[in-house]
Amino acid sequence: MVACDPPAILTVTHPHLAQRAGGLVANCPAKAASACSLCITHAATLCAVRLKNGSAAGQFHCAGEANCDNTADVEIPRLDPDVTADRLGDALTRAGCCVIDELVDRTLMRDISDELDEHRANASIGASSFEGHHTRRIGSPLPRSATFRSIAMHPIVLTAGDYVLGHATSWRYSAAEFIEIGPDETPQRMHRDQWKYDMVDFPFEIELNGMWAVTDFTEANGATRVVPGSNIHGERAAGNRETFSIDDSVPAEMACGSLLLYTGSLYHGGGPNQTETWRSGLSLQHAVAWLTQSTNQFLECPPDMVREWPDELARFVGYAKAGNGLGYWGDSEDPLSAVHPNRTFDRGWATVRPD
C-alpha cells in the first residue's frame, strides 16, 4: 500500500458527507496513479477524512487496483416499504439510489395516469435525442392530479429528503413530470440531474430525485438506467465530466407502484424501449430551498389554486421562507399570506434552523 505523502486531509462539513468519505478519498493527489475510474474504495493511497470540527471521520485503505471491482458490483439496493430511515439513508449514501418495491397500490398509479389523460394529446414529444424523439412528457402533474398531490409528500420521500438534504435549512419540491418512453426509443445520455445548476461541482448533495413506476419497468421497455455508486465517484472532484455510458448502467426494473429514489449526483438516464408498449413513469425532483426550482411553482401552482391545498403541501411547493432571508415578500411577509390573505402569519426573515 502506498501512503499519501503528505497525508491528504479532506474536510467535510456534515456528518452525512463523512459517510461518503470513500468517494472523497479519490480527491487525493495520488489518485492520479489509479486507473480505476469506478470503484469507491480504490485509491492508491491512504487518506484521512475529517469532519470540519476536527474529529476523524474515517480512514480508507487501498486494496490495490488488481483487487478493485467497479461499480457494476454495487447493486441497486432493494428496500421494503417499511424500511427504516437509517437503512434508506445508508442505501442512498452508498449507492446513490434505491428502489422501494411496491410502495403504493398500482391503482393509485393508474389514477394518476387517468387524471393526466386529457393532457396527453398536448404533451411534448422530445425535440432532441436527450429528451427522446419517441418520448412524451406531460408537465405540471401536481396541479393536474389530485392523486399525485396525495402522495407528493409520501413519508418515504420526506425521510429520504431529510437524510440527503438535511444539511440545508430546508428543502422542497422542485418539479415533476410524467415521462412516457415509447416503442423504438433509444437510450438517453447518462447524466447527473444536478448538472442543470450550471454544472457546479457541489461538494454535497443538492437534489433528491425519483421515479414512480406507473407501468411495470423492465429492461426491455425502457426502465430508468442507473450507475449505482456513481454518486460518490471521485470524478466529481475533477469537475463533473461525463464518464459513464449506458454500458456502465443497470436497469431499475420495478413493478408498478414502486419508487426509484436517487441523488442529484447519480448518473442515470432513460432506457431504450424495445417493446411495442409505452413505459410510463412519474419523475420527481426536490432540491435544497436556496436553489431555484426546476419548474416555476408560483406559475404552475398560483395562490388561488394552492388555497385549496393543505398548508404543508403549499409550503412544500415553495410558499415558505427559507435559509437566512430567502423567500419572503412585501414587508417581510410570509409567502403563505399571499395564499391566505385573511390569516395572520409571522413576519420577518426567520430562518428555519435556530442560531
Ligand X SMILES: O=C(O)CCC(=O)C(=O)O
Binding site for ligand X (CB under 6 A): 179, 181, 188, 211, 224, 268-270, 281, 283
Of the pair 71, 294, the CB lying nearest ligand X is at: 294
Nearest CA-CA partner of 186 in 126, 227, 138? 126
Shortest Å, Cβ 273 to ligand X: 10
Q: Which residues partner with 299 through β-bridges?
A: none
Of the pair 182, 335, the CB lying nearest ligand X is at: 182
Shortest Å, Cβ 332 to ligand X: 37
Q: Are 200 and 292 in contact (CB under 8 A)?
A: no
Look up residue 163 and give its three cell numbers: 437524510
Of the pair 178, 319, the CB lying nearest ligand X is at: 178
Of the pair 49, 179, the CB lying nearest ligand X is at: 179
Shortest Å, Cβ 126 to ligand X: 9
Look up residue 218 and give its three cell numbers: 423492465
Shortest Å, Cβ 207 to ligand X: 12
Instruction: For the sheet with 9-12, list strands across it.
Output: 9-12, 47-51, 56-60
Shortest Å, Cβ 269 to ligand X: 5
Q: Alpha-carbon Rg of the chain, whole angstroms?
A: 21
Of the pair 27, 186, the CB lying nearest ligand X is at: 186
Q: Are 147 and 257 in contact (CB under 8 A)?
A: no
Long-range contacts of 272-275 (CB under 8 A, 24+ apart): 272/185, 272/186, 272/187, 272/222, 273/134, 273/181, 273/182, 273/183, 273/184, 273/185, 273/220, 273/221, 273/222, 274/183, 274/220, 274/221, 275/183, 275/218, 275/220, 275/221
Type of residue found at 152 = A
Shortest Å, Cβ 36 to ligand X: 26
Of the pair 156, 179, the CB lying nearest ligand X is at: 179
| Inter-CA distances, 316 with 194, 203, 293, 306, Å | 20, 25, 11, 11
Of the pair 24, 181, the CB lying nearest ligand X is at: 181
Type of residue found at 284 = L
Shortest Å, Cβ 189 to ligand X: 9
Shortest Å, Cβ 211 to ligand X: 6
Nearest CA-CA partner of 280 in 320, 233, 222, 324? 222
Shortest Å, Cβ 268 to ligand X: 6
Three-state secondary structure call for residue 177: strand
Helix 85-95 vs helix 155-165: angle between axes, to the nearest 10 degrees? 60
Of the pair 23, 251, the CB lying nearest ligand X is at: 251
Helix/strand number for the chain, H first, E second: 11, 14
Of the pair 198, 355, the CB lying nearest ligand X is at: 198
